[in-house]
Amino acid sequence: MEKGYFNSGSYDTPARKPGIADRMFFHTRLYFTLKFARIVLTTRHQAKSGVYGDREWADSSWYIFRFIERSGGIFHITGMDNITKIPDPVLFIANHMSTLETMILPCIISPLRKVTFVVKESLVKHPLFGDVMRSRNPIIVGRTDPRKDLEAVMTGGMELLSKGISIIIFPQSTRNVEFKPEEFNSLGVKLAKKAGVQVVPIALKTDFWGNGKIIREVGPLDSSKHIYFRFGEPFPVTGTGKDENQKIIAFIQKALQEWQ
């Protein structure tokens, strides 16, 4: 894979003193919405034209990353060395807080290893984001029938992993700023166990980007809330996977407590 956008295993948004233009336009929701609309329409057109590949996906994610910073977002990313610590494909298992992680994880991971998501069916049918998401060959789940979701994840996951493609999965049923361990299912560790691949846990805090009232993916921004991503050490799944799932939950809880 190509070199990533980050030069080390960690990244912190550089401190900068906002000028007049920043205060008047850049650090506003209008700026963010206009930029986001532009990239959504551009990538949708590329995907419909069949020219939206891995490089384009990573580049568009990086574009969003940069204008989030221009909109007042402050990133703190650690543990990126763990993304490629082992050469084989892995399961990235993370909590799910907002739209932000779906948009930003590609520019962190995709330049370093081939990857896709486990996504809800509603996302691949979304009028704005569906074409892009389908172009990434994701694993699709309905979130209404756990048995069917398990079958979809196991069948699709085994096929992708056998081709060297890593998978990002959010075991929570929906985005939530409050992390509830009881809603963090074990689909990810079950797939990792069956496929014989290792897990890389991801703890994240992305409530900087809220949910919108009209379009849920375009909500208010809160620059007082810093953005955090932490990638943990890869580890194998043994036994039933129950202990490993608890290990991931503990990793996320510890990080969220530190970031309060």
Q: CATH code at 178? A: 3.40.1130
Instruction: Note whether residue 2 is domain-resident.
Output: no
Per-chain mean pLDDT for the chain: 91
pLDDT in tens, 109-167: 999 999 999 999 989 999 989 999 999 999 999 877 888 999 999 999 999 999 999 99
Instruction: Note whether residue 1 is domain-resident.
Output: no
Q: Can you list the alpha helix ranges (DSSP code H) found in 82-186?
A: 99-109, 121-124, 130-135, 146-162
Instruction: Note whether residue 4 is domain-resident.
Output: no
Instruction: Note whether residue 3 is domain-resident.
Output: no
Instruction: Note whether residue 16 is domain-resident.
Output: yes
**What is the pTM for the complete model shown?**
0.92
pLDDT in tens, 52-68: 999 999 999 999 999 99
| Residue 88: pLDDT over 60 | yes
CA distances to 53, 66, 74, 118 from 61, in Å: 12, 9, 16, 17
Instruction: Note whether residue 37 is domain-resident.
Output: yes
CB neighbours of 48 closer than 8 A, spacing ≥ 6? 131
Give the structural domain span for 194.
11-258
Instruction: Note whether residue 133 is domain-resident.
Output: yes
Give the total number of structural domains in the chain.
Answer: 1
Q: Count CB neighbours of 224 within 10 A.
A: 8
Instruction: Note whether residue 6 is domain-resident.
Output: no
